[in-house]
Amino acid sequence: MRIKSGWIAGALALAVGLAGASARAQQDEGEKEIERYRAMINDPMANPGYLAVDRGEQLWATKRGEKNVSLETCDLGQGAGKLEGAYAKLPRYFADADKVMDLEQRLLWCMQKIQGLDTADVIKRRFSGPGRASDMEDLVAYIANKSMNMKIDPQLSHPKEKEMAALGEAVFHMRGGQYDYSCSSCHGEAGKRIRLQGLPDLAVAGKDAQAALGSWPTYRVSQSALRTMQHRMWDCFRQQRLAEPAYGSDLVTALLAYLNKQAAGGELVVPSIKR
């Protein structure tokens, strides 16, 4: 009887081991298929995200607001109107506003201060949808593309920049919502995945964070829309069942300051294209 029991236990262990090996093989093959799909669609000439870049370029030069001026004198950190490399160094501290801002925050500030524009409609259309264009998505695509192939260069010399990155790290590990999740629940450990999609480990500085942060904004084929990192943050909060962060909030800026710190040195290839 002992021999029979031992044989059964051994057979069960073997079956479990084979099932696990089969599941891993299927996951690996699935990941390879996803990579092949990405390679097929990763052609700038076939990336609809560049239509957003073109629209953003027009918006940047369009005169609007009570002052009837364009955004061409907006300082994104490199000097008035200078866009090359600006996105790679955001979020950063701006002395004229006395605060750390990401790109969307700074654009809203410039619209209000330089153009005298009522930004209520801009914020209402912060994310595009069927029959609804988004000025902010287009502007972010255009400005981000001006840092194409440059390195992510987080700004951490000012005390408020250091404070914002530290706050972002705390938010990254803060649990909450109906599921009691944090950002690190999904992105704080190597080897995690959701369905066939591998999840980058953003708690460790280096290649995962570099690849993730270096590919936004991106054109999402499944959504037929260009999406910004602001949208990615909003969607993560939604999936955690947390309250939606206000658009252009310091909370999101803090998270991006921390994530860009983790991604320092990564190459920006934007807008990218994803499933």
Q: Which residue numbers are catalytic? A: 236
* Euclidean distance between CA atoms 193 and 269, whole angstroms: 23
**Those residues with Cβ within 8 angstroms of residue 110's Cβ, 6 or more apart along the chain or in another chain:** 71, 74, 75
Beta strands 272-274 and 218-220 are parallel
CB neighbour burial string for 76-99, b if at least 16 within 10 angstroms, e if fewer: bbbeeeebebbbbbbbbbbeeeeb
